[in-house]
Structure 1
Amino acid sequence: MATHKRSRTGCWTCREAGYKCDELKPFCGRCTRLRITCKGYGIKLKWQDDGVSTLAKPPRKGRKKKTIDQVQAPSPTSIVSFASTPMALSSPEFAFSSPESTNSMPTLPLNSPGLSYGLSLDDRWLLNYWVEQLSTLISVAPRHGVATPFQRHLTAMAYESPALRSTILSMAANHLALTSNNASLHLQGYRFQRNAIRELQQMIQDPVEIYAEPALATVMMMQVSARLFGDDDEAHVANHLIGAKAIISRHEGDGWLASSNARFLMSLLAYHDILSSVSRGSQPLLDHKTGFTAVEGEQQLESIANVLLVVAQISQLQHAIKMRKAESTTCLALSEDENTTGRRIQQTLLAMDFVACKQEDTQEDTDISSTAEAYRHAAFIYLYRTWLDIGAPNPISMEHINQCLSQLQQVDAHSPLTSSHIWPLFTAGCEAIDSTQRHFVRIRFEELYAVKRFPSLKRVMRDIEHVWEAKDMEQQTKGQAGMAKVDCIQVILKRRGREVELA
C-alpha cells in the first residue's frame, strides 16, 4: 500500500510520480535533491506524437472544487491530452481601471455589428485591446496605416471560434495586467486560458473542426501566448507546434494554401517551428520549403523568410551530426557529407546581400533590410557553431557578431521589425565579449520591454546573462579556446531545463 498521496498542486515531476511536493521555485526540493528534471508548475497541455493510440477518457465530473484533469481526445492523426492544476471555476468579477467609461468604449473594427453579438462588455473591451494594441505589438509587419496581418486574419475568426477568442482574450488580459499594474487581470487571463483549453478539447473531438483554420489559429496563438507570457518557473512549456503539425498533417498538397488566412497561419507556424528548432537543438518538425515564402505572409518580408529557410537547413545539419555521434561515440570528426552541407550553406549565405540591394525609399524598407541582414549574420554564427563548433572570440565568428549587432542597432526600438529581433539579438548577444556590445544588448532588451511589456524579453535577457557567466568562467579556466566552445543554447538547456523563447 502506498504511503504517500498523489500530489495535485506541486510540480509536474512530483505529480506524475505521485509524490508530495514542497513547491519551491523555480525547482522543487525533491527534484533538486534527487537531481532530476523539475517540470515546473501551472497549466500543462500535452500533444502526443502521431501514431499513439489511446482510448478517449471523458472529463471527470465536478467536485466541490471543479478541476480540469487529464482528458484525452482521439483524432485521426494524433492524441491531444490536456491537464491543469486544480482550480476553482468561480472567479471574481472582472474589475479593472480603464481610461474610458463603458459608454465611451472604443468602437471595434468589425465588418458587421452582429459579430459582437453575445459578447459581454468586458470581453468586448479586451477584444478591442487586442485589436488596437496587442496585435500591433506582436506583428512584425510594417504598419502602412492598414491593419496588421494578425488583425486581418484573426480578429473576425475570433468571433466565430470560442477557443481562439478565449486564447486572444487571455493574452489581452495578461498584457493589460502588466501595462496597468492590475494584478486582478491575471486571474481573468487565467480564466480565459482555462476556457480556451476546454473549448479546444471540444474542437478536437469534431473530425471537421479539428482540421479547419480556426483550430490551427487557436493552437498557434497558444504557442505565441506561451512564448510571450509563459511562467519563468515552467521548465517545459507546452509545445503547441506538435499540435499544429498534427492538424495540418491531414491536408494533402498545397490546395488549402489558396486561402490568405491559411497562408498567414502557415507562415506563423514556419517562423515558430524554425526558431524553436534552434532553441531545441533539433531539426524543424515540418519541411517549410514550399509553404513559407514570407514572414506573416507579407511579401515585403520575403527576405527574412529566405534566411530562415537557411536556418532550417542548419538545424537539419545539427540534427544529422547529433544522430551520427549518438550512434558512434568513437567517430567524432565531421563526415564528408556534413562538411559538404556546411560549405553549401555557407555559400548560400554569402550569396545573400541585403545591404547591397537596400531600397532607401522609406525607413521601413531600411528597417527590413537591416533586419534581414542581421538574420543573415546570426545564421552565420549558428552555422559555425553547428558545423565547426566555434564561437567568440574566434575571429571567424566575431566578424558576424559585430555585423549582426551593428545592423540591429540601426533599427529603432519602436519599429515593428523589432518583434522579430529576439533570435539575432540572442545569437549575437550571447557571443558578445566586448563590454560595449554587452551594454548595447542589455539596453536594447530594456528598450524593447518598455515598448512591448512582454515577460519573455526579461527571460531572454536573463538567459543571455547566464551564457555570459558561463563563457567568462570558461575563459578563466580554459582560455579563449575554451570560451569559444561554449554553446549558448546548451547552457540554457542544461541550467534552466527549458528552451529559449527566440520567436
Structure 2
Amino acid sequence: MVSREAIPSYPSSMSHSLDDFSYPSPADTGSSIGSLVPFTFSPTTTSQLNSFLQHSADIPDQPLSHSSPEQGDVRDDGSHRSQYVSPADVSSAYAAYESQSPSDLHEAISPHSKNPQLFASHGEGQDAESMATGVVSSTDDFFSKITNSPVLSENRPQVHPHESVTAGHVRFMGVDYEIDVSSGLSSAKRKWHAYLTSVTDNYGLDCGHSDLDLNRNDDHSAIDINYALDLISSQSESSPTASKDRVDDPSSLDSTQNNLDGTRYAYYASPVPINIPRYLSPLPPSLLQTPINLMYFHHFINHTAKLLVPHDCVDNPFVSVLPSMVIEDSNLLNLMLAYSASHRARYLEHPEPATRIAHWVSSVFPALRVALEDPHEKVTDSHLAAAIMLLSLKIISPSTFEVPIPWQSHLKLARELFLARKEQMAYPGNRIGAFLARWLGYLDIFGTLSCRHTEPPLLEYYALISTCCSIEGLDELCVDCFTGFTPQTGLFLTRLGKLVHQCDNERFDEMGMWISGWKPSANIVLEAQELITDLEILRARTHTSSKHFQESGSTDIIASDKAFYYAGLLHLHRRVLGTSPFSTTVQEALNELMKALAEIRPGESAEIGTLFPLFTAGCETHNAEQRMDIQERFEVLEKTGMKQMQHARKLMQRCWDEELPWVALTRGEFLG
C-alpha cells in the first residue's frame, strides 16, 4: 500500500467507491462568480495569494535538445515557429478586452487584426496556438491589466452550501427533507429524483450545421424546431399515437453512439434531439431567448461532457453537477457555452466561432481578477470552477482565446483558488467540492507529468475528497469512473509527480540543454524504491463498483487503471531512476502496459481517457508493429475534437524521428 506518511489519512470504515457518491442533479450550488461575500483567509492562504498576485518570476524557456531548433525558433505541432511570450506580451494581449467592445473582440485579438503590435514578436501569419506554448508565471501581469470594467454577472438567489446535505437531512430543489440515513432516501424521494433526472423537455434538433459566428449566423434558426411544430399540429388533428410512426421521431434519432461509415464517435450520424433534463428548469433567459445558446448548452451536457470522463454513467458530474452550477451563474454559463462551441466546431471540422467565444468570455477574466485583487473577498465555488474550466479549455483547444496565455498559467491560478477555497468546501456531502477536487486534481497530476515548468501536484485534493465523501465512504481500490484509475493509483501518480518534477529539472543545464548522462542522487533512488515497494498490493485488489458495472462490463475501466499504473511505473524507471529502455524491468512494465491497452476496446469512452498511457507506450516501444497500432489509435482519437490528442501524437513522432526521450523534445504539450 502507498505509504501513509505521504498521503492523507482515511477513516477505516470507508468501503464505497468514489462513484457510489451520487450527485443529485438539482444541487444547491450556493456559488456565483459575481458574488463576492467577505470571509477570512488563513495567514498561509493570504500569503500565497499575495505572492501569486505580486511576484513576477519568468519561467525559463523550454528545453532544447542538441538536435532541436535554435532558441527562440521553437516549433509548435511541427509546422510553426514561435518565441515564448513575456508577461508584458500577455498583459498587452488581455488589454484588448478592456479597450474593445464585444463585437470587436475577435478583430482586436486576432493575429491578422489591425493591432499587429500585440503579436509582432511572433511573426506575421503566426497562429495563436503556436504562441500558447510559452510559460507565464506572473499572475500580476496575467490579470492586473485584463480590464478595469466592473464584473458583469447576473446573480441569482444564493443558498449556503452547508445547507445541502447533513446527517439525516437533505436540501433538494429548495425543499428540506428528513431521511433515514441507515436506509438511504425514501421511496417517494427516489421516485421524484428519478423523475427529475429522466424526464426531459425537447427543444428541437441539432442538425450539425456550421456556426458562421456572431452577427453572421441566424442564431434563432440554429435549432430545427419544424418537427416539434409538426408534432403539435398532428396531435391536435389526430390521435396521440399518430406520431409514433414518423421516421423522424426524436427517440429514433438519439444515436450518440452509432457509427457513420465506420467512423467512431459519429455523434451527428442523425440529427440530435435537444432534450434538456427537467431538473434544470426553469432555464435562464440567456438560453431560452437565444436558440444557439441552448444548442451549445445541450451539446456540452449531451456530448462534450461524455468525452471528458473514461466512463460516462449517471453520476458523471459534468452532467449531474456542473449544469446545475452554470444555470445559477451567467459567467460560468458563458464559459460552458464557449467550451461547447469550441469543441463542437473542432468535432465537425468547422471554423471556431471566435468572435462569439470572445464575447462570451469577456466578463470571465475580470471576474477572476476581482476575486484575486482582495484576499478578504470570498472566492466562490464558481470562481474555482471557472478557473478549472479555463484550464481545461486551454488544454483541449489552445487557440480558442487567441491570446498567448499557456495552460501552465491557468493551472497555477486554479491551484491558488483551490487553496483559498478548500476549507469552505470541506464538509460531508459536498458534491461540488468532491467534483472540483477530482477535476483539478486530475489536471494537476498530468500537468506535472507533462511539463517540468509546473509545481508538484497537491495532496490536498484527496483530503478534500475524503471529507466530502465521508457519508458514503471512499473505497481507495475501486476504479473511479471520473479519472479511470483508483484513488490509490492517483496517489501513486501524485507521489511520482513530485519525483519527476525534481528529476526532470535536474536533467537540463542552466542553458536549458538536455544532459544525456544524468544520474539520480542516492536520496532519489531510495524514494523511488520505497514507492515501488508500496505499489505491490495495488494490482491484486483493484475492482469496480457493482453500482456502475455488471461483471462483464468492467473490463475496459479495470484495464484503464492497469494502464495508468504501468505507465506510471515506466515513468518512474525512465525519468526518475534513469533505467535503460532495454532493461528487463522496463521491458516487463512496457509489456504489461501494452496488454492493458489491448484490453481497452477501440471506440469505448475509456480509450479517450488513456492518452497518457497510450503516449507513454508509444514513446517507449521500439517495435514497429506496436508503433503503427498506437499511431492508428491516436489518429482515431483525434476525431473526438480534443486538440491535445494531436499534440501528443506529433510529439511522439518527433521522439521516434530524433531518437531522443520525449522529455528532451517537449514544447509544453499536455499529455492527459
**TM-score, with length taken from structure 1:** 0.73
Instruction: Give the corresponding residue for 1:304.
Output: 486
Matched, 1:313 2:414: no
What secondary structure does 1:183 align onto?
Answer: coil
Report if the CA contact (8 A) 1:355-1:370 is conserved.
Answer: no
Equivalent of 2:308 in 133, 138, 154: 138
Deviation at residue 92 of structure 1 after TM alignment? 3.1
Alignment of 1:42-191 (within 5 A): 48=138, 59=147, 91-93=215-217, 100-101=224-225, 104=228, 106-119=274-287, 120-143=290-313, 146=314, 148-183=316-351, 185-191=353-359
Letter in 2 for 1:489: V
Written as runs of structure 1 = structure 2, the 5 A alignment for 1:217-366 is 217-231=385-399, 237-239=406-408, 240-251=410-421, 253=423, 256-258=426-428, 259-281=430-452, 283-288=455-460, 289-291=462-464, 300-302=478-480, 303-321=485-503, 333-354=519-540, 361-366=550-555
User: CA shift at 1:147, angstroms?
Assistant: 5.0
Q: Distance in 2 between matches of 1:184 and 1:241?
A: 24
SS of corresponding position for 2:536: helix
Counterpart CA distance in 2 for 1:44 and 1:197 is: 20
Residue 641 of structure 2: which of 447, 453, 458 is its match? 453
Deviations 1:175-231 (A, max 9, x none): 221333432645433433445334544555686875211111111111111111113
The structure in which a higher percent of residues are helix is 1
CA spacing shift, 1:127–1:205, aligned 2, 3 Å: farther
1:372 maps to a residue whose letter is D
Shift of 1:99: 7.3
Q: Which 5+ residue runs of structure 1 have no aligned equivalent?
A: 1-5, 28-38, 62-88, 472-485, 493-497
The Cα offsets for residues 366-393 of structure 1, whole Å up to 9 and x where unpaired, read as: 2121111111110111001123213533
| Change beyond 3 A, Cα 1:470–1:393 | farther
Alignment-derived partner of residue 371 in structure 1:
560
CA distance in 1, matches of 2:665, 2:446: 17
User: Rg: which structure is higher?
Assistant: 2
Report the Cα distance in structure 1 between the residues aligned to 2:413 and 2:498, rounded to whole angstroms.
21
8 A contact 2:306–2:312 mirrored in 1: no
Take 1:10 and 1:53, find their aligned partners in 2: how far apart are those partners? 20
1:470 to 622, 633, 658: 658
Asked if the contact 2:500–2:575 (Cα under 8 Å) also holds between the matched residues in 1, the reply is yes
> Residue type of the partner of 1:501?
F
Q: Which amino acid aligns with 1:306?
A: Q
Give the 3-state SS of the residue equivalent to 1:243 in structure 2. helix
Shift of 1:351: 2.9
Contact 1:279 1:502 in 2 (8 A): yes
SS of 2:539 mapped into structure 1: coil
| Cα distance change, pair 310–96 in 1 and its aligned pair in 2 (3 A) | farther
C-alpha change, 1:459 and 1:293, in structure 2 (3 Å) is farther
Asked if the contact 1:283/1:315 (under 8 Å) is kept, the reply is no
Give the Cα separation in 2 of the matches to 1:53 and 1:457: 30
Root-mean-square deviation over aligned CA pairs? 4.2
1:489 matched to 2:579: no
| Structure 2 portions without partners, runs of 5+ | 1-91, 94-108, 150-212, 229-272
What does the per-residue CA deviation read over 1:114-166, in whole Å, with 9 as the maximum and x for residues that have no partner?
Answer: 233343222112101111111111122342xx252111110010111222212
1:452-474 deviation line (CA, Å, top 9, x unaligned): 23222122111111111122xxx
1:434 aligns with 2:623: yes
The one of the two structures with greater contact order (alpha-carbon pairs below 8 A, sep at least 6) is 2
Residue 401 of structure 1 deviates from its aligned partner by: 1.6
The counterpart of 2:569, out of the listed 375, 380, 383, is 380
Kindly tell me: are residues 332 and 55 of structure 1, through their superposed partners in 2, closer, same or farther at Cα, counting changes over 3 Å? Answer: closer
| Alignment-derived partner of residue 475 in structure 1 | none
Name whichever of 167-176 and 259-268 sits farther off: 167-176
Secondary structure class of the residue paired with 2:279: coil
Q: What is the TM-score when the length of structure 2 is the normalising length? A: 0.56
For 1:20-31, what aligned pairs fall within 5 Å after superposition?
22-25=123-126
> How many residues are matched?
434
Checking the alignment, whether the CA contact within 8 Å between 2:148 and 2:366 is kept in structure 1 is no
Q: Structure 1 pair 442/226, CA: closer, same or farther in 2 (3 Å)?
A: same
Q: Percent identity?
A: 16
Alpha carbons of 1:184 and 1:315: their partners in 2 closer, same or farther (altered >3 Å)? closer
